């Protein structure tokens, strides 16, 4: 657990909220193909997924939705739960970094980040939405560094809006070609959803079976 000593009510409420967000993301996965083809703007708000934002912009190109709504929904979808990670960093500091990262080097880097110049930390929060950047670590480090919540929310939303506008512009430019791809996904949505569900159920079972096969239980021997 990321806290030290007995858990307080705040600790339990915060970890429960984080687990609920993770559970929501897992629950939405099987519905993604249907929402992508029928309600991409709603999917963009629900998940902040870049593919959904691009699909929504493509639908906007053919008059199915206003482009500004695609950008607003996508940006809000990307940042709507980030304040929980900021709060976790403020509440637990290095504890939540240990949960997000497995290596000592990443933990040391996050610890050094809390001592950066405030402007460097602010730029890191804006850039955290870029693919490949460990956004949870950056957001937790911002909370650990005692960045004000209002400042964090503003910078986080700025970064999300810039990236969303870029992706939406690309989707809007593709227009009907992107819509045709989305409709093709819709045709096989049921198969895709069932595959996602089956994978979520079978992969842990297969991993457990492989582990047991490689490490069979030892038999106890008795000596006369």
- For residue 109, the model assigns a pLDDT of 63
Residue 76 lies in a domain: yes
Q: How confident is the model at residue 132 (pLDDT cuts 50, 70, 90)?
A: confident
HSE-up of residue 209 (Cα within 13 Å, Cβ side): 5
- For residue 86, the model assigns a pLDDT of 93
Helix (H/G/I), strand (E/B), else coil: 222: coil
- For residue 25, the model assigns a pLDDT of 85
Q: How confident is the model at residue 161 (pLDDT cuts 50, 70, 90)?
A: very high
List the structure tokens of 164.
């969303």
Residue 110 lies in a domain: yes
Q: How many domains does the chain have?
A: 1
CA–CA distances in Å: residue 98 to residues 9, 64, 106, 108, 183: 21, 45, 9, 10, 42
Residue 203 lies in a domain: no
- For residue 155, the model assigns a pLDDT of 95
- For residue 80, the model assigns a pLDDT of 93
Average pLDDT, the chain: 77
What are the DSSP E strand ranges found in 97-220? none
What's the CA gap between 138 and 106, in Å, rounded? 11
pLDDT tops 80 at residue 199: no
Ramachandran sector of residue 63 (left: φ over 0; alpha: ψ -120 to 50; beta: rest):
left
CA 76, 80, 85 angle in degrees (round to 5)? 140
Residue 42 lies in a domain: no
**Which residues constitute the domain of residue 58?**
9-20+49-174
């Amino acid at each position: 657990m990321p806290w030290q000593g007995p858990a307080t009510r705040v600790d339990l409420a915060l970890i429960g909220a984080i687990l609920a967000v993770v559970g929501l993301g897992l629950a939405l996965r099987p519905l993604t193909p249907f929402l992508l083809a029928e309600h991409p703007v709603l999917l963009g708000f629900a998940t902040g997924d870049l593919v959904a934002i691009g699909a929504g912009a493509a639908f906007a190109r053919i008059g199915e939705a206003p482009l500004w709504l695609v950008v607003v929904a996508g940006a809000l979808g990307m940042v709507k739960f980030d304040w929980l990670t900021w709060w976790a960093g403020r509440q637990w500091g290095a504890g939540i970094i240990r949960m997000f990262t497995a290596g000592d080097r990443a933990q040391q880097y996050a610890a050094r980040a809390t001592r950066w110049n405030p402007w460097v930390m602010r730029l890191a929060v804006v850039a955290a939405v870029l693919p490949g950047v460990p956004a949870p670590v950056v957001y937790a480090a911002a909370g650990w560094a005692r960045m004000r919540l209002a400042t964090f929310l503003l910078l986080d939303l700025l970064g999300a809006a810039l990236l969303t506008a870029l992706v939406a512009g690309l989707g809007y430019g593709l227009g009907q070609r992107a819509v045709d791809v989305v409709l093709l996904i819709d045709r096989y949505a049921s198969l895709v959803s069932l595959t996602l569900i089956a994978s979520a159920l079978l992969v842990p079972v297969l991993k457990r079976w492989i582990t047991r096969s490689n490490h069979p239980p030892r038999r106890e021997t008795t000596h006369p």
